[in-house]
Structure 1
Amino acid sequence: MSTTDVPVAATVGRKGTWHRWAGRVDAATPVRRDRTVDALRAVAMLGVVIGHWLVSALVADPGRPGVLTNHSPLSGWPGAAPVSWLLQLLGPFFFAGGYAAARGSRGRAALPWLAGRLRRLVLPVLALAAVFGPVLAALPALGVPGPTRQVVWSLVSHPLWFLLVYLLLTAATPVLRTLTARCGLWWLVPLVGAIGLVDTMRPAGLPSWLVLAAVPVGWAVPYALGIGLAEGTLPHRAGAVLLPAGVVAGAALVAAGYPASAVGVPGDGWSNLDPPSLFTLALAAAQLGAFLLVRGRLAALLRRPAAWAPIAVLNLAAMTVFCWHQSALLAVSLAGLPFGQVPGLLSPPAGDWLALRLLWTPAFGAVLAGFCLLFRRVETHAARRPHAVPPA
């Protein structure tokens, strides 16, 4: 045997193992499962994770050892707004959630279905709280500076607002399905109008109660569109309307004075996400329209086990990934804190910071993978069938 035969044989062996594993995942997937919606959820999850890693700039204070502060790189790069359009994928995420809820609740009693669904959503959050509750309580006794404690609390807790809205919409799924069955998707028009009315009040400042009320109302729109797809109310050809309508509406809103960024930027005056604005709904419409247009080709691609298996695995750990992705960023950043302003990790977001930050994302991903190995069983245990792909 020549020396060149060894790596070739090893490569073939690895490929064979990969294909066997992918084949087992493919065989375990129910025939009725819509793989394209799972792919949309996976892409949305990756967009949220990578987006948070790119906009969370933790900076070490050179004059105060152990002090971390949080900064936004977007304030220094107004040209980064188009990147936010690609990475702010909460609309598709809520859309996939509405589809999954409608399909999963079909033909099942409402309360047992809701209990199972909420269990799967809540248990990963409880695991996160079980770890960080004692950690946060111990930080003052360990002498951790106040700004650093605030950063830890912010990174761990802030993404959980999304879960509260998701839980509320999940609980409302039977009502939303009934509205869709009786009225089609026309009942969404008053919701969009309500968001437009809230937008007109932003210059004077929104009361906190109105912000809290508008958040679930805004995200109910893509969630209900997902229900519409599951119920056959949203046809595939609707993509040819949603995509151009979303693009034109988004451009018109920016021209009318809306912030161009899909996420909050210091200095913009207000954020398109707090609460979701008409621009956010226009962006979601464009993203979902593009999805509907490519759905047929995507379905053909995902029939291949090698393409489907990673999507299935990510969906099995979706809640775990969401709960722990900022903890991965935090763990790597704290490990670098003794070394000062590590470029791209703990340095101020200026100059080539973004390029350097991208080089750190594999490290964040590796730590996140470790967290998923530790805590994913909490999520799979909550599923009704822990060894199969969860019902969509």
Structure 2
Amino acid sequence: MGLLAGLHRLARRTPPSRERFIDLLRAIAIVAVVLGHWLVTVVGYDDGQIVGRSALPDLRWAYPITWLVQVMPIFFLVGGYANAASLTSHYRKGQHSGEWLVHRGARLVYPTTALVLTLAAGAGVAHVWQPDPSRVRLVVWFAAIPLWFLSVYLIVVTLTPLMWRLHCRYGAAVPLVLIGLVAAGDLTRLFGDENWGNGSFLFGWLAIHQIGFFWRDGRLPTSRRTLWMLLAGGLAVLLLLTVPGPYAVSMINVPGERLHNMSPPSLALFALFTVQLAVALLARGPAERWLRRPRPWTAVVAVNTIILTVFLWHITAAILLTAALHAIGILPTQPAGSAAWFAWRVPWLVMLTAVLAVLVAVFGPIEARATRRPRHRGRWLPTALADWLARPAPRLTLAVACLAAVAFGLLDNSLLPRTQPAPLGIPTIALVAYIIGAALLYALRCAPAEPPPSDTTDEAQPAADPSRRRE
């Protein structure tokens, strides 16, 4: 009852100016990712060892369905809107970019640290019973699948103050240049070295994140006729690029397929994003009216309070359930696409939801605490150090360095081959970089920033924000 009452209080305190549809889109995007991963999972045995993989290579007929469930572009779009709203609010209060990065980064890093440290500790304990370190690494690799995406999002968040300034100065030229770089990367992947296209991992998601700035400004089209034309045009381009064109039909990477669309983002993914954006804008008005009702809005608030925890731990839930079913000898191993495999999807989802609910109950409070700002300086911080950390220049520099170290640790772990042994299941350098970055970020958060001067200029000047419409 206490939890439910707290959610109702949170829902009632929502400012009237808040665009609630953004929160709904975030919840839909993450829940779709979780369900998508769970539904396409195939579990079996290879020489007595449990193995897991995606069912997509066996379900070619399902490739067009990935156009409906590939929602990562929506998440970055929503992130762009939310980050722009939060950043400009900071600026109008006279606060600086470094302060924003510290608190925005903490909301992502604190829940992630719980997963990273749990995986490292679990791998250390597993070495006692599992003599093959490559098997331990494989389990950690699977559980850490969500972290590759988070590493890219952390980089995008770190660049947000810079990208916002570029947005204010150059407007639509910024995403157009970024999309042009994605197109150049696609050409190199088609006709040259694939590695030259890796820049699209950053350029592609930055471009979509940048479109979120335009939504926040109120500068996206609102005419339904224009939106229907945008939808039709995006769908036509998508069909041309994938059916007769060089891009894969699937919007989720499938081994052995031609030019992938997701990793890194391709022009075909941008065509899909155009369709998704048009659909979202068409649904915006009715959805906003629906979300003014207490019950649906309270449900959206509830999901968003633990949304990152759900995303981070959903693969771990699958691993734990698989291990438990294997231990009691009832792990189903039906061929992908068979009638038995499809029938197993329902109880599989029910059991996974139950396991994930337990994990969320344990680790969800960490995400909730990450949104609360400390009111006082940490007692363990020396006064002189806390005063130095509170100054804008060192705070910005260290915040960027912390988030870069965390992102490097996550990315380095993702790039290490899935069966290459590591002492704690995670590369040592990656783990050390992550821990140092997370610890320094915690120190920055425990050292409250200097209060803004009464005569605020530079980035705190409200005139630098061309879109003071809503938060």
Shift of 1:86: 1.5
Query: Cα gap change, 1:348/1:270 in structure 2, threshold over 3 Å: closer, same or farther?
Result: farther
SS at match of 1:262: coil
- Contact 1:244-1:286 within 8 A present in 2 as well: yes
SS at match of 2:102: helix
Question: Within 1, Cα distance between the matches of 2:134 and 2:36?
Answer: 23
- 2:63 aligns to what? 81
- 1:334 aligns to what? 323
Residue 178 of structure 1: which of 161, 165, 168 is its match? 165
CA-atom RMSD, angstroms? 2.5
Query: Cα gap change, 1:20/1:304 in structure 2, threshold over 3 Å: closer, same or farther?
Result: farther
1:77-104 residue CA offsets vs partner (Å, 9 max, x unmatched): 1111122112110000001111000001
- 1:354 aligns to what? 342
Residue 128 of structure 1: which of 82, 103, 115 is its match? 115
- 1:215 aligns to what? 201
- 1:58 aligns to what? 43
Query: Cα gap change, 1:260/1:170 in structure 2, threshold over 3 Å: closer, same or farther?
Result: same
SS at match of 1:60: strand
Query: Cα gap change, 1:300/1:18 in structure 2, threshold over 3 Å: closer, same or farther?
Result: farther
- 2:417 aligns to what? none
Question: Within 2, Cα distance between the matches of 1:19 and 1:341?
Answer: 36
State yes or no: 1:168 paired with 2:172.
no
Shift of 1:167: 0.9
SS at match of 1:257: coil
State yes or no: 1:90 paired with 2:45.
no
Q: Which moved more, 1:259-268 or 1:192-201?
A: 192-201
Question: Within 2, Cα distance between the matches of 1:35 and 1:229?
Answer: 13
Question: Within 2, Cα distance between the matches of 1:205 and 1:351?
Answer: 39
Question: Within 1, Cα distance between the matches of 2:119 and 2:137?
Answer: 13
SS at match of 2:129: coil
- 1:226 aligns to what? 212
State yes or no: 1:295 paired with 2:301.
no
Letter in 2 for 1:43: I
SS at match of 2:43: strand
Shift of 1:19: 9.3
1:9-45 residue CA offsets vs partner (Å, 9 max, x unmatched): xxxxx9xx99977743431322222110000001001
- 1:308 aligns to what? 297
Q: Which residues of 2 match residues 13-32 of structure 1 at below 5 A?
A: 23-32=8-17
TM-score, normalised to structure 1, is 0.86
Residue 43 of structure 1: which of 4, 20, 28 is its match? 28
1:340-381 residue CA offsets vs partner (Å, 9 max, x unmatched): 5733xx444241223422431121111111111111111111
- Contact 2:186-2:197 within 8 A present in 1 as well: no
State yes or no: 1:239 paired with 2:227.
yes
Question: Within 1, Cα distance between the matches of 2:328 and 2:61?
Answer: 31
Question: Within 1, Cα distance between the matches of 2:3 and 2:86?
Answer: 30
Shift of 1:270: 4.0
Question: Within 1, Cα distance between the matches of 2:283 and 2:373?
Answer: 30
- Contact 1:60-1:337 within 8 A present in 2 as well: no
- 2:355 aligns to what? 367
1:319-344 residue CA offsets vs partner (Å, 9 max, x unmatched): 1111111111111111111355733x
- 1:68 aligns to what? 50
SS at match of 2:167: helix
Letter in 2 for 1:243: L
State yes or no: 1:103 paired with 2:103.
no
Q: Which moved more, 1:86-95 or 1:52-61?
A: 52-61
Shift of 1:202: 1.9
SS at match of 1:94: helix
- 2:254 aligns to what? 265
Query: Cα gap change, 1:283/1:259 in structure 2, threshold over 3 Å: closer, same or farther?
Result: same
SS at match of 1:140: helix
Question: Within 1, Cα distance between the matches of 2:132 and 2:53?
Answer: 17
Question: Within 1, Cα distance between the matches of 2:351 and 2:61?
Answer: 26
- 1:7 aligns to what? none
Shift of 1:223: 0.7
- 1:283 aligns to what? 272
Q: Which moved more, 1:153-162 or 1:115-124?
A: 153-162
Question: Within 1, Cα distance between the matches of 2:131 and 2:351?
Answer: 24
- Contact 2:57-2:254 within 8 A present in 1 as well: yes
- 1:199 aligns to what? 186
Question: Within 2, Cα distance between the matches of 1:242 and 1:354?
Answer: 36
Question: Within 2, Cα distance between the matches of 1:271 and 1:321?
Answer: 27
- Contact 1:37-1:96 within 8 A present in 2 as well: yes
The aligned length equals: 367
- Contact 2:25-2:74 within 8 A present in 1 as well: yes
Query: Cα gap change, 1:357/1:47 in structure 2, threshold over 3 Å: closer, same or farther?
Result: same
Query: Cα gap change, 1:142/1:242 in structure 2, threshold over 3 Å: closer, same or farther?
Result: farther
State yes or no: 1:137 paired with 2:120.
no
Question: Within 2, Cα distance between the matches of 1:311 and 1:303?
Answer: 11
Letter in 1 for 2:246: G
- 1:155 aligns to what? 142
- Contact 1:38-1:311 within 8 A present in 2 as well: yes
Structure 1 alignment gaps of length 5 or more: 1-13
Shift of 1:74: 0.7
Structure 2 alignment gaps of length 5 or more: 91-95, 375-469
Identity across the alignment (%): 32
- Contact 1:92-1:287 within 8 A present in 2 as well: yes
- Contact 1:169-1:220 within 8 A present in 2 as well: yes
Q: Which moved more, 1:326-335 or 1:143-152?
A: 143-152
Query: Cα gap change, 1:113/1:68 in structure 2, threshold over 3 Å: closer, same or farther?
Result: same
State yes or no: 1:380 paired with 2:406.
no
Letter in 2 for 1:113: W
TM-score, normalised to structure 2, is 0.73
Letter in 2 for 1:249: V
- 1:6 aligns to what? none
Question: Within 1, Cα distance between the matches of 2:227 and 2:73?
Answer: 15
